[in-house]
Amino acid sequence: MKIDVATLFPEAFEGLKVGIIAKALQKQLFTLGLHNIRDYSQDKHRRCDDYPFGGGAGMLMTPQPLHDCINAIDPEHKSKRIFLSPKGATLTQSKVIELAGASALLFVCGAYEGIDQRVVDADIDEQLSIGDYVLTGGELAAMVVINAVARYIPGALGSEQSTDEESFSDGLLEYPQYTRPAVFNGMAVPEVLLSGDHAKVREWRKQRQIEITRELRPDLLKEEDR
């Protein structure tokens, strides 16, 4: 998979290159191209912002550097072009899985009070939000999406890790997990997990998933299970 990012702050993405993501990059399971929008500005001072027509607070990103950056990265529009914005649909695990199936993704990060609408209209395929709150720019949001997507690239997770028994994989939160010691600070691991009875363990885990989801995220449950 090819992933590109258009941003005014490419250095922010160093924080993405840790752990499983760093290993996946080393193994060349995907490429991560970081492109500085400012490098495309035709302004003599390399400016990328200006005042909004009609007035209002703050500055907007001007269309020229953004448009040229996006189309230099993806001249034939082969990438799915995603603008990170609180106006987008909220990211879900099923969206993550859908994006992981794409061959090329281009994330466009806004800054200041936003970007000129003509770039959204002409150059963007989809807007995506990571939640109902406002960040100072799209960089953290892009890193969240890339991190979540990269886990689904074949080979990214070690053989001992998997995406099929985790929260949201079956519409429920994950069951609680325990490791050694069997008793810690007077708290014992649930008996059933030490029983060796795999069917019983499966049943216990399913039950706990339903209980935990009902308690913590009832909105995830089907009407009849709430």
The minimum distance between CB 100 and ligand ADE, in angstroms, equals 18
Using CA atoms, how far apart are residues 223 and 226, in angstroms rounded to an integer?
Answer: 6
120 belongs to the binding site for ligand ADE (CB under 6 A): no
The minimum distance between CB 132 and ligand ADE, in angstroms, equals 7
Using CA atoms, how far apart are residues 6 and 65, in angstroms rounded to an integer?
Answer: 10
The minimum distance between CB 147 and ligand ADE, in angstroms, equals 14
By beta-carbon proximity to ligand ADE, the closer residue of 137 and 171 is 137
Interface with ligand ADE (CB under 6 A), residue from 79, 129, 209, 213: 129
Size of the site for ligand ADE (CB under 6 A): 11
Supply angle C-alpha 97, 101, 104, rounded to 5.
Answer: 120
Asked if residue 182 lies in contact with residue 147, where contact means CB atoms within 8 angstroms, the answer is no
Interface with ligand ADE (CB under 6 A), residue from 58, 131, 155, 218: 131
79 belongs to the binding site for ligand ADE (CB under 6 A): no
Q: Which residues pair with 223 in a beta bridge?
A: none
By beta-carbon proximity to ligand ADE, the closer residue of 148 and 172 is 148
By beta-carbon proximity to ligand ADE, the closer residue of 144 and 173 is 144
Distances (CA, A) of 32 to 65, 94, 213: 20, 22, 35
Using CA atoms, how far apart are residues 27 and 207, in angstroms rounded to an integer?
Answer: 39
Q: Which residue has the tokens 């909004």?
A: 52
Using CA atoms, how far apart are residues 116 and 64, in angstroms rounded to an integer?
Answer: 9
150, containing H or E segment: helix 139-150
What would the x/- binding string for ligand ADE be over residues 133 to 172, using CB under 6 A? xxx--x--x-------------------------------
The minimum distance between CB 126 and ligand ADE, in angstroms, equals 12
**Site of interaction with ligand ADE (CB under 6 A):** 84-86, 129-131, 133-135, 138, 141
